[in-house]
Amino acid sequence: MDANIEAILQSLTLEEKISLLAGKDFWETVPIPDKGVPAIKTSDGPNGARGEQFTGGTRAACFPAAVCSAASWNPEYAHKIGNALAEETKTKSARVLLAPTMCNHRHPLGGRNFESFSEDPLLAGKMAANVVKGIQEKGIAATIKHFTANEQETERLAVDEIVSERALREIYMKPFEITVKEAKPWGVMTAYNKINGTHADSHNFLLKQILRGEWGWDGLVMSDWGGTNSTADSLNAGLDLEMPGPTRWRTVETVTSAVRKGEVTEQVINERAKNVLKLIERVGGFINPAIPPEKSIVDPAHSKLIRDVAGQGITLLKNEGNILPLTKEGVKGKKIGLFGLAKEALIHGGGSASLNAHYRITPEEGLKATYGDDVEFKYAKGAHTYRLLPPLRHHCTDLEGKSGWTMELFNKGQTDKPIKTTHGLKESEFNPILDTQAKDSEVKLSATFVPSETGAHYLGCSGIGPTSVTIDGKVVFEQKNNSPDPMGFLLGGNPEVEFSVPFNAVQSYKIQIHSKSPSGEADFSILAGLPGFRMGFMNASEHDLDMLTQAKDLAKDVDIAIVFTGHTPAWETEGQDQMSFNLPRDGSQDKLVEAVASVNKKTIVVNTTGVAIALPWLFNIAAFIQAWFPGQEAGNAIADIISGAVNPSGRLPISWPKRIEDAPAYRNFPGEKKNGQLTVRYDEGVFVGYRHYDRVAKEKVQFPFGFGLSYTSFSLSGGHVSKPSMTSFKATVAVKNTGGSAGATVVQLYVGRKEQVSEHPIKTLAAFKKVALRLGQQQIVELDVELKDFAYFDEKDSAWKVDGGQYDFSFGQSVAHVESVITVDVEGSGGNLVKL
């Protein structure tokens, strides 16, 4: 391989080498056909290979989100998911999958938490490493992201994360280190944010000293999309590939000028180009350079895997009086009320994780398929849950008199003559990513609207740049400034202010939406210079409908009530953090649960979010299931748990606080802005998640890390720890199924000093294993632990260390449910320290 790459590299001119260092377009690298260098294609994303279209593209399999996968605590299934993701990637003619996402859950309001595995670096690292192994053994490159400290979405392109080296190494870089060393990913994607004052794409400490230096990694480093922030600095630090293309920072002229000035050497250019060529070689691009059209292939094996993983990840958190499972025989002839989001398949979050799924099984569909005609299901939504009013698409005619809208594109400041006109657009929105001519332009969308009813109608509008709405020539909405969150706009979650306009039925109204490209010096990255907008619309009769009373009346009339709550992709998405710890919208879902539970004692709540939420109604309901985002088989997997076809074995990969104020990063999220720079101080240090909650009052925690219920029960006993060597331990414990059915639990081993020290966590997850047992079965579980698994980083000596002394090895089924503790003498160097 090296000889072939060296030969190609030597054949390239400096200009050709430079051309390789940025993308050709949004998804592909630059080819050099005359020199035998093909383009290769990349694809999002972490829970499915979406393909090249952000919305409405080729259908793809949607796998459980990483947090759902992590809740299974089963790395073997992560490996299988990796295999399936690789196969899906091939159907999209891509060779590089932009996955997995593996940043830590630092705060419950993190907008992209669902895409990542856990608050714990060991669990996250082991799951991610297995996903990578599964992807790459099928010949597809995995791209672990986002390196590093990308734990929030608020101003993610510029925010400066101030993090100690100890916290970086023990918490935020640790999942990456585990994955790099155990799985050797072929790609690493840098984060948007700054770390201690320097953007991640130009960070010498991260990319040169750690990644390529200490960890000895030899793959390709690419930027996040629009996440390159310099020319010479990023090249010198080790950023091989700027994405997407065409380049903003690496034109041939810019880079050759940097070489002439001595800011970058030709040797650096050679190294960067060589890494691009090496990736092309690794994924078979030189052997088969073709990029055929994308395909949509439903693989029954993938569908089964998705359902199985979701079933292992869905987590039962309350089951008062053993109301669950609702066995087929037990509910035969009963009436079951379905409420809330029962008719919506919440299968993924928003942003890079979104895709056009092969199919989407709603909870209602899954339950009806499971119970058939033996159960009578009734439905009431009970609450408005939308974040954005739906686009206006009905009763509209364009400028040619046909159904839809007319779009006109103008050169900026020249709105007398359009440079492009398109008729028949279906709805009142314009996505600039889909139009290559939109750069530095203005856009108008026009239609004649004939309402179906008289009265107030509700509208909402937002744009990337200044945007206005006129009706019959009168301005009814005006946004004078740029969007505060352009990526949030693109990904469907930008806040909109609703306003009402009176309409008369049958009368016609001319509506025009006018949007300009962003003004001023703001750097909108891949959206720079692009206009875009959306306008939502809803009739008053729908908007003002009293859904809550309908739901409460139905709840009185049914034997069992199941309320489905959660976040649609607009509420939990890349591009912005959560608006609230409480469920949206404006308390409507909390009110729904409270109303149903007040009249029906047998109320079960199934929540679909990628994060912990406030649970003000928890003590009023009988059962609570956390479904996460379980993928396209969502409804079937949820029905499996509710019916008892699958015994729940999911365990929380995060801690679940009662109040957002009790989160360790509460006072340092999303940061403070001074002189235009948002800065976030990671002042909690290594005390993230359970490492923090271990040290505070237990009543601050709703559900502890590692917790989850089953329809059976388990016990751990007879813990034992031996020392095969000075740096390794072999721990064993007996686990027994003591309940009434077969099931699975997770044996968790935590290690901590017997005598607590304030600067160190009380205990740290050091090993885990999921165990399936028949009724009454007992099994001895072995867990291997190394000193490095509970070492700390000493910043003064720049070394990993374990202090000599006594350590408690705690065996439990959650961080708070410890059943066996073994104290072990850990020898140090001369009785003091062991340097790793």
Residue 115 CA to its chain's centroid (Å): 2
Read off φ and ψ for residue 553, nearest 5 degrees. Answer: -65, -40
If one counts every other C-beta atom within 10 angstroms of the C-beta of residue 468, the result is 18
Any residues with CB less than 8 A from the CB of 401 and at least 6 apart, and which? none
Percent of the chain topping pLDDT 70: 98
Contact at 8 Å (CB) between 689 and 120?
A: yes
Beta partners for residue 772, in sequence order: 744
Q: Comparing C-alpha atoms, which of 281, 203, 228, 285 is closest to residue 21? A: 228
- Flag whether pLDDT at 572 surpasses 70: yes
Cα separation, 60 vs 36, in Å, equals 31
Task: Please state the rounded mean pLDDT for residues 638-654.
Answer: 98
Tokens of 55: 């919305």
Cα separation, 134 vs 507, in Å, equals 60
| DSSP 8-class letter at 583 | P
Residue 138 CA to its chain's centroid (Å): 24
Look at residue 769 and give its three-state secondary structure: strand
Please, which pLDDT band fits residue 434 given cuts at 50, 70 and 90?
Answer: confident
- Flag whether pLDDT at 830 surpasses 70: no
More confident residue, 51 or 438: 51
Task: Please state the rounded mean pLDDT for residues 670-675.
Answer: 94
Cα separation, 517 vs 482, in Å, equals 9
Cα separation, 325 vs 309, in Å, equals 19
Domain positions in the chain:
1-37+200-282, 314-387+545-651, 396-426+432-531, 712-835
Tokens of 464: 């990337």
Task: Please state the rounded mean pLDDT for residues 133-144.
Answer: 98
Q: What is the mean pLDDT of the chain?
A: 95
Task: Please state the rounded mean pLDDT for residues 582-609.
Answer: 97
Q: Comparing C-alpha atoms, which of 8, 9, 26, 19 is closest to residue 490? A: 26
Contact at 8 Å (CB) between 400 and 407?
A: no
Q: Pairing relation of β-strands 315-319 and 623-626?
A: antiparallel
Instruction: Please report how many Cα atoms fall inside a 13 Å half-sphere around the Cα of residue 708, on the Cβ side.
Output: 30
Contact at 8 Å (CB) between 311 and 646?
A: yes
Any residues with CB less than 8 A from the CB of 670 and at least 6 apart, and which? 109, 152, 154, 155, 159, 577, 678, 680
CA dihedral sign, ordered 689, 692, 695, 697: negative
Residue 3 is predicted with a pLDDT of: 77
Any residues with CB less than 8 A from the CB of 157 and at least 6 apart, and which? 192, 193, 226, 227, 487, 523, 525
Superfamily of the domain at 712-835: Immunoglobulins (2.60.40.10)
Cα separation, 257 vs 228, in Å, equals 18
CATH architecture of the domain covering 1-37+200-282 = Alpha-Beta Barrel (3.20)
Contact at 8 Å (CB) between 47 and 78?
A: no
Residue 583 is predicted with a pLDDT of: 97
Look at residue 319 and give its three-state secondary structure: strand
Cα separation, 33 vs 54, in Å, equals 28
CA dihedral sign, ordered 232, 227, 156, 200: negative
Q: Which of 13-22, 62-71, 163-172, 793-802 has the lowest mean pLDDT?
A: 793-802
Q: What is the CATH number of domain 314-387+545-651?
A: 3.40.50.1700
- Flag whether pLDDT at 836 surpasses 60: no
More confident residue, 314 or 833: 314
Q: Comparing C-alpha atoms, which of 653, 48, 584 is closest to residue 314? A: 653
Tokens of 832: 């003091």
DSSP H or E stretch at residue 229:
none
Q: Pairing relation of β-strands 396-397 and 677-681?
A: unpaired
Q: Which of 96-100, 357-361, 492-496, 592-596 has the lowest mean pLDDT?
A: 492-496
Q: Comparing C-alpha atoms, which of 211, 273, 280, 239 is closest to residue 42? A: 280
Task: Please state the rounded mean pLDDT for residues 544-554.
Answer: 94
- Flag whether pLDDT at 523 surpasses 70: no
| DSSP 8-class letter at 684 | T
More confident residue, 155 or 624: 624
pLDDT per position as a tens digit, 337-368 = 999 999 999 999 998 899 999 999 999 999 99
Q: Comparing C-alpha atoms, which of 652, 672, 815 is closest to residue 161? A: 672
Residue 493 is predicted with a pLDDT of: 65
Given this structure, which CATH class describes domain 396-426+432-531?
Answer: mainly beta
Tokens of 804: 């000599």
Read off φ and ψ for residue 548, nearest 5 degrees. Answer: -65, -45
Residue 831 is predicted with a pLDDT of: 41
Residue keyed to tokens 């600039």:
432
Cα separation, 221 vs 224, in Å, equals 10
User: Taking the CA atoms of the chain, what radius of gyration do you get in angstroms?
Assistant: 28
Cα separation, 119 vs 121, in Å, equals 7
Tokens of 34: 């005359």
The whole-model pTM stands at: 0.95
Q: Pairing relation of β-strands 141-147 and 560-566?
A: unpaired
What burial class does residue 675 get, using C-beta atoms within 10 Å of its C-beta: 0-12 exposed, 13-18 middle, 19+ buried?
exposed
Residue 495 CA to its chain's centroid (Å): 20
- Flag whether pLDDT at 726 surpasses 90: no
Residue 525 is predicted with a pLDDT of: 72
Residue 767 is predicted with a pLDDT of: 98
pLDDT per position as a tens digit, 373-424 = 999 999 999 999 988 899 999 999 999 999 999 999 999 888 989 999 999 9
Residue 618 is predicted with a pLDDT of: 98
Beta partners for residue 37, in sequence order: 32
Residue 522 is predicted with a pLDDT of: 59
- Flag whether pLDDT at 159 surpasses 70: yes
Tokens of 228: 């390159």
Q: Which residues are catalytic?
A: 224
Look at residue 129 and give its three-state secondary structure: helix
The dihedral over CA atoms of 306, 311, 313, 319, expressed in degrees to the nearest 10, equals 160
Q: Comparing C-alpha atoms, which of 605, 644, 603 is closest to residue 626? A: 605
Please, which pLDDT band fits residue 521 given cuts at 50, 70 and 90?
Answer: low
Residue keyed to tokens 């379980």:
630
The dihedral over CA atoms of 116, 121, 122, 124, expressed in degrees to the nearest 10, equals 10
* Edge-to-edge order in the sheet of strand 220-222: 42-43, 96-97, 141-147, 187-190, 220-222
Q: Which of 161-165, 197-201, 445-449, 483-487 has the lowest mean pLDDT?
A: 483-487
